[in-house]
C-alpha cells in the first residue's frame, strides 16, 4: 500500500464500522458507519447519550457483543491488521494482551464467588506461562500499582468486602496485567461518587503516563470527557456527529447536536442563565429516519437533512463534522474547490 | 407560632437498627442531628456522597419514616407526631427512578388522578378530567397521552408524569430526590427548566437532593453539604461554590469534573484518600477526620457544631 516513504500506521483504526442486533422487533442498527483513529499513548473520548451506540462501538472492537449482535460491515485495524478477520483463538489473545477493558459496574463484572487474588491470577496465567507463586507475586504488584494498600490481605478478600472505588481499582489491576497497549473504559466512574471518581480518573491518567498505553473512554459525562481526552468523538443514533481534539469540540462545536449538548449542561459560564435543552426525545433505533439521525430534534434542520445522511466534512486539520449546515457553510471545503478550479 | 420558614427541621435524627450478628443489632445513624429551614419559594440543595443520609433526610422530612428524634415544622406547626393526611397535599415528593415509582398497570390519567381522588379535590368527573389535563399541559405532556401506560414513555416523559402527580394536590413544598439523575443530559435540562418555571409560576419550595454538584448549583438558592449523617456546611449557592470553608466541601467541589478542557486539565484537585467510613462504625468526634488533611486531636474528641461565619454561611469544623 505505502509507497517509498514509510507510512505511519496508527495503533487502532476503526473504519466504517456497522454493528447490529437481531431482535424480535427487527434489526437494531446500533452502530452505523463509525470511523475513528487512536494513536499510541493518546486518550480518545467517546461521548453520547444512552442508545447512541458509544458502548456498542467499543464492544465491537473487543468482539464481546451479545449473541444476537454482530459486526455487519467495516474494519478494525490494530497496527494495520484487520482484527475482525481474526479467528476466535487469535481474538482471545488480542483481548487482554493488546487490548483490555473495564466496565461501569465493578460489582457485576467481578465474580462474587472467587477472591480478588484468584481473579487477578487467572488473568495472569491465561496470558503467560508462570507458576502460581509468580502469579501471586505479580497480582500483589498489580494491586500496589493501582494504589491498594495492604495488598496481601486484599488478595484474599471477596469482591463484596471491597468498596466501589476499590473494586474499580481491582478491575483496572486485572485489565493491566499484560500491559496492553489499549485500555477501553466503558463508563468507568458512572457508578462512583465524585471524590472516588476523582481518585480513579487520577489513577488512570497516572498509569497512562507510566505504562504509555492508549485509552478509549466511553462516557456520557462531558466533565469526565473534558478532563480525560485528547480527542473526542461525539455520537448520536449510532453515527458520529463530530470528532476532533478536545479543544475543537468544546470551544468550536460545529454539529448542531454537539452545540445543543454543550448548551444543555450547567457549567461555570452559564450558571445563572437558563439552560437551553435539546427539544424532543432520544431516537428510536428501530425506527431510524432516512436522513440525519438528529434532524427531528434540530432547530435548524433543512429539507435535505430529512432525506439524506450528511457526509463527514473537514472543518480544519483535526476537526470533522457530519452536518448539512457545515457542508453548506464550510469555508475549508469551498476554499479547496476554489483551488481545484484555479 | 409563625416563622420565616415554610419547612424547618431541628436536630432531626433517624436511626435504623441493623442486624449485625446473632441476637445483635447495631444502630445505623443515617441522619444524626440535622438542622435547616426552607423559605417559601426557595430551593435548598442537599448534596453529599452516597450513604451520607441525604435521601433519608428527604424521606423523614415527609414522615415516610418516623423520625427517631428531633422536630419537623411545616408553616410553624410541629408535625413530628401529627396525622400526616392533612399535610400530604402541602408536601409532595418526586422520586429518582421514573421506572419504579410509577405503577405500570395504571394509565397516565389514573396516576395523576390518584392524589386528586385521595384528597377529594374535585366535585365532579368533568372537573377531575380538566384538572388532569391542565396538569399534563403544565408539565409539557399532550392530552392524547392521558390514556397511555407508563411503558410507552421515555425516561424524561416519565419524570414529567411523576412531577405532574406531585403537583396534582397543589403543594407548596416538593422534595426532589435525585429527580434528574437518571436522565440523559439533553433531557435533564428540559426537566430542570420545567422545575424552575413551575417555581416561578406556582411559588413552590424545593428540597433538591442530588449528587451532581453542577446541577445543584444551577438550581439552588442555598446549599447544604452532608457527610455521614450530619450537615457540615450550608451557605448561599454562589458563596458555597466560590469560597467553601469546610475541608470536605473543598475537596468535593474540586473533584467535580468541569466540562471545559482547559479548566479541567489545569485545575488542581484535592484528592481525598480512602473511602467514606461505614456508618455502622462512625469515627468519634468529627466524622470527616479520618480523611481530613487538617485533623487534630480535638477533632477525634468532640463533634464540631455548625457555627455562623457571616452571611448565614454555617460551617462545622474546628480548624477552619
Shortest alpha-carbon distance between residue A137 and chain B (Å): 24
Res A342: pLDDT = 62
Flag if A250 and B259 touch (Cβ within 8 Å): yes
Flag if B257 and A193 touch (Cβ within 8 Å): no
Q: Are residues B128 and B223 in the same domain?
A: no
Flag if A265 and B269 touch (Cβ within 8 Å): no
Shortest alpha-carbon distance between residue B229 and chain A (Å): 16
Largest CA distance in chain B: 68
Q: Are residues B61 and B175 in the same domain?
A: yes
Q: Which chain A residue is nearest to residue B260, measuring alpha carbons?
A: A226
Give the structural domain span for B114. Answer: 104-170
Q: What is the CATH number of the domain that holds B231?
A: 3.40.50.300
Q: Are residues B246 and B307 in the same domain?
A: yes
Mean pLDDT of A304-314: 91
Mean pLDDT of B203-228: 93
- A1-5, A97-101, A147-151, A259-263 — which is least confidently predicted? A1-5
Q: Are residues B179 and B77 in the same domain?
A: yes
Nearest to A265 among B49, B185, B276 (CB): B185
CA dihedral sign of residues A269, A275, A278, A282: positive
| Cross-strand partners of B207 | B44, B175
pLDDT bucket at A332, cuts 50 / 70 / 90: low
Q: How far apart are CA B227 and CA B286, in angstroms?
A: 10
Which of A221, A162, A232 has the alpha carbon at shortest distance from A187?
A221
A35, A269 in Cβ contact below 8 A? no
Q: How far apart are CA B64 and CA B61, in angstroms?
A: 8
B164, B139 in Cβ contact below 8 A? yes
- B186 pLDDT higher than 90: no
Q: Are residues B41 and B178 in the same domain?
A: yes
Half-sphere exposure of A111 toward its Cβ, with a 13 Å CA cutoff?
11
Q: Are residues B37 and B114 in the same domain?
A: no
Q: A171-183 pLDDT, tens per residue?
A: 999 999 989 999 9
Interface test with A, best of B260, B267, B292, B293 (most A CBs within 10 A): B260
Flag if A281 and B187 touch (Cβ within 8 Å): yes
Nearest to B154 among A165, A265, A281 (CB): A281
pLDDT bucket at A6, cuts 50 / 70 / 90: low
Mean pLDDT of A226-238: 95
First to last CA, chain B: 36
Res A333: pLDDT = 59
Which of A134, A155, A131, A132 has the alpha carbon at shortest distance from A143?
A155
DSSP structural state of residue A11:
S
Res B2: pLDDT = 52
Q: Which three cell numbers stand for residue A196?
A: 472516588
Res B152: pLDDT = 87
Q: Are residues B179 and B242 in the same domain?
A: yes
Provide the b/e sequence for A220-253 (b: ≥16 CB within 10 Å): bbbbbbbbbbbbbbbbbbbbbbbbbbbebbbeeb
B14, B68 in Cβ contact below 8 A? yes
Q: Are residues B82 and B133 in the same domain?
A: no
- B284 pLDDT higher than 80: yes
Res A2: pLDDT = 41
Q: Which chain A residue is nearest to residue B259, measuring alpha carbons?
A: A223
Mean pLDDT of B32-54: 93
- A68-72, A283-287, B16-20, B38-42 — which is least confidently predicted? A283-287
**Does any domain span residue B320?**
no
The percent of residues in chain B predicted with pLDDT above 90, rounded, is 66
Half-sphere exposure of B42 toward its Cβ, with a 13 Å CA cutoff?
18
- A308-322, B129-143, B210-224, B269-283 — which is least confidently predicted? B269-283
Q: Which chain B residue is nearest to residue A52, measuring alpha carbons?
A: B184
**Does any domain span residue B178?**
yes
A102, A123 in Cβ contact below 8 A? no
- A211 pLDDT higher than 50: yes
Q: Are residues B308 and B180 in the same domain?
A: yes
The percent of residues in chain A predicted with pLDDT above 90, rounded, is 65
Q: How far apart are CA A125 and CA B114, in angstroms?
A: 60
CA distances from A102 to A91, A143, A177 (A): 17, 15, 13
Q: How far apart are CA A223 and CA B267, in angstroms?
A: 13
- Report how many domains make up chain B: 2
**Does any domain span residue B232?**
yes
Q: Specify the 3-state DSSP secondary structure of A241.
A: strand
**Does any domain span residue B194?**
no
**Does any domain span residue B127?**
yes
B65, B56 in Cβ contact below 8 A? yes
Q: Are residues B80 and B23 in the same domain?
A: yes
pLDDT bucket at B23, cuts 50 / 70 / 90: confident
Q: How far apart are CA A285 and CA A275, in angstroms?
A: 27
- B1 pLDDT higher than 60: no
Res A134: pLDDT = 93
A174, A143 in Cβ contact below 8 A? no
Flag if B193 and A195 touch (Cβ within 8 Å): no
With a threshold of 0.90, tell me whether the complex ipTM lies above it.
no
| Cross-strand partners of B45 | B208, B223
pLDDT bucket at A3, cuts 50 / 70 / 90: very low
Shortest alpha-carbon distance between residue A50 and chain B (Å): 7
Mean of the per-residue pLDDT values of chain A:
89
User: Residues in chain B whose beta carbon is closer than 8 A to a beta carbon of chain A?
Assistant: 49-50, 154, 156-157, 184-190, 192-193, 196, 211, 213-215, 217-218, 238, 251-252, 254-265, 269, 271-272, 275-276
Q: State the angle between helix axes of B155-167 and B108-118 in degrees (0 to 180), rounded to the nearest 10.
A: 20
A102, A185 in Cβ contact below 8 A? yes
Mean pLDDT of A234-261: 94
**Does any domain span residue B99?**
no
Interface test with A, best of B178, B259, B279 (most A CBs within 10 A): B259
**Does any domain span residue B309?**
yes
Q: How far apart are CA A293 and CA B184, in angstroms?
A: 17
Q: Are residues B81 and B115 in the same domain?
A: no
- B269 pLDDT higher than 90: no
First to last CA, chain A: 30
Show residues of chain B in contact with A264, CB under 8 Å: 185-186, 188-189
Q: Are residues B133 and B68 in the same domain?
A: no
Count Cβ–Cβ pairs < 8 Å, chain A vs chain B. Answer: 129
DSSP letter string over B5-69? Answer: -SEEEEEEEEEEEEEEETTEEEEEEEEEEEEEEE-TT-EEEEE--TTSSHHHHHHHHTTSS--SE
**Does any domain span residue B266?**
yes
Mean pLDDT of A137-158: 92
Find the helix or strand (DSSP H, E) in which B207 lies: strand B205-209
- A246 pLDDT higher than 90: yes
- A92 pLDDT higher than 70: yes
Mean pLDDT of B77-87: 91
CA distances from B99 to A127, B142, B151, B179 (A): 43, 20, 8, 12
Interface test with B, best of A198, A204, A221, A245 (most B CBs within 10 A): A198
- A311 pLDDT higher than 70: yes
Amino acid at each position: 500500500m505505502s509507497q517509498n516513504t514509510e507510512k505511519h500506521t496508527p495503533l487502532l483504526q476503526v473504519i466504517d464500522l456497522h454493528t447490529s442486533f437481531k431482535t424480535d422487533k427487527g434489526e437494531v442498527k446500533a452502530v452505523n458507519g463509525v470511523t475513528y483513529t487512536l494513536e499510541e499513548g493518546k486518550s480518545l473520548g467517546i461521548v453520547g447519550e444512552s442508545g447512541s451506540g458509544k458502548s456498542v462501538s467499543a464492544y465491537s472492537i473487543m468482539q464481546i457483543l451479545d449473541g444476537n449482535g454482530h459486526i455487519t460491515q467495516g474494519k478494525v485495524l490494530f497496527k494495520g491488521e484487520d482484527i475482525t478477520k481474526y479467528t476466535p483463538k487469535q481474538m482471545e489473545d488480542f483481548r487482554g494482551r493488546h487490548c483490555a477493558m473495564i466496565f461501569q459496574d465493578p460489582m457485576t463484572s467481578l465474580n462474587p464467588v472467587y477472591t480478588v487474588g484468584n481473579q487477578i491470577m487467572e488473568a495472569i496465567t491465561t496470558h503467560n506461562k508462570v507458576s502460581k507463586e509468580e502469579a501471586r507475586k505479580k497480582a500483589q504488584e498489580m494491586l500496589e500499582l493501582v494504589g491498594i494498600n495492604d495488598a496481601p490481605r486484599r488478595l484474599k478478600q471477596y469482591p463484596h468486602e471491597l468498596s466501589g472505588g476499590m473494586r474499580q481499582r481491582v478491575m483496572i489491576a486485572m485489565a493491566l496485567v499484560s500491559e496492553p497497549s489499549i485500555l477501553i473504559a466503558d463508563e468507568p466512574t458512572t457508578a462512583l461518587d465524585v471524590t472516588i471518581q476523582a481518585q480513579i480518573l487520577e489513577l488512570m491518567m497516572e498509569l497512562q503516563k507510566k505504562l504509555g498505553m492508549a485509552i478509549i473512554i466511553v462516557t456520557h459525562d462531558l466533565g469526565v470527557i473534558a478532563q480525560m481526552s485528547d480527542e473526542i468523538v461525539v455520537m448520536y443514533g449510532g453515527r458520529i456527529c463530530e470528532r476532533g481534539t478536545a479543544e475543537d469540540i468544546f470551544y468550536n462545536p460545529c454539529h448542531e447536536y454537539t452545540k445543543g449538548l454543550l448548551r444543555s449542561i450547567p457549567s461555570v459560564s452559564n450558571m445563572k442563565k437558563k439552560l437551553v435543552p435539546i427539544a424532543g426525545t432520544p431516537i428510536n433505533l428501530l425506527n431510524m429516519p432516512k436522513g440525519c439521525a438528529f434532524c427531528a430534534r434540530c432547530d435548524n434542520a433543512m429539507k435535505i437533512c430529512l432525506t439524506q445522511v450528511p457526509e463527514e466534512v473537514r472543518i480544519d486539520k483535526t476537526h470533522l463534522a457530519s452536518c448539512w449546515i457545515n457542508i453548506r457553510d464550510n469555508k475549508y471545503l469551498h476554499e479547496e474547490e476554489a483551488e481545484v478550479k484555479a | 407560632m409563625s416563622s420565616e420558614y415554610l419547612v424547618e427541621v431541628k436536630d432531626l435524627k433517624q436511626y435504623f437498627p441493623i442486624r449485625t450478628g446473632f441476637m445483635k443489632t447495631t444502630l445505623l445513624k443515617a441522619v444524626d442531628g440535622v438542622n435547616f429551614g426552607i423559605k417559601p419559594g426557595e430551593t435548598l440543595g442537599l448534596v453529599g456522597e452516597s450513604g451520607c443520609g441525604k435521601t433519608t433526610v428527604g424521606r423523614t422530612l415527609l414522615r415516610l419514616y418516623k423520625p427517631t428524634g428531633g422536630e419537623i415544622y411545616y408553616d410553624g406547626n410541629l408535625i413530628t407526631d401529627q396525622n400526616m393526611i392533612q399535610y400530604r397535599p402541602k408536601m409532595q415528593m418526586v422520586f429518582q427512578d421514573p421506572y419504579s415509582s410509577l405503577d405500570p398497570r395504571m394509565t397516565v390519567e389514573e396516576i395523576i388522578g390518584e392524589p386528586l381522588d385521595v384528597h377529594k379535590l374535585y366535585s365532579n368527573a368533568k372537573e377531575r378530567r380538566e384538572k388532569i389535563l391542565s396538569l399534563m399541559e403544565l408539565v409539557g405532556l399532550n392530552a392524547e397521552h392521558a390514556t397511555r401506560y407508563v411503558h410507552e414513555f421515555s425516561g424524561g416523559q416519565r419524570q414529567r408524569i411523576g412531577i405532574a402527580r406531585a403537583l396534582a394536590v397543589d403543594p407548596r413544598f416538593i422534595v426532589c430526590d435525585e429527580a434528574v439523575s437518571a436522565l440523559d443530559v439533553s433531557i435533564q435540562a428540559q426537566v430542570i427548566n420545567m422545575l424552575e418555571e413551575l417555581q416561578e409560576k406556582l411559588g413552590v419550595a424545593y428540597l433538591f437532593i442530588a449528587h451532581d454538584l453542577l446541577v445543584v448549583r444551577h438550581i439552588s438558592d442555598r446549599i447544604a453539604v452532608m457527610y455521614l449523617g450530619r450537615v457540615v456546611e450550608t451557605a448561599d449557592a454562589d458563596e458555597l461554590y466560590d469560597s467553601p470553608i469546610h475541608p470536605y466541601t473543598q475537596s468535593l467541589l474540586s473533584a467535580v469534573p468541569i466540562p471545559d478542557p482547559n479548566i479541567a486539565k489545569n485545575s488542581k484537585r484535592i484528592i481525598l484518600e480512602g473511602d467514606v467510613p461505614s456508618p455502622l462504625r462512625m469515627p468519634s468526634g468529627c466524622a470527616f477526620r479520618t480523611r481530613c488533611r487538617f485533623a487534630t486531636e480535638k477533632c477525634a474528641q468532640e463533634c464540631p457544631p455548625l457555627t455562623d461565619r457571616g452571611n448565614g454561611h454555617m460551617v462545622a469544623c474546628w480548624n477552619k
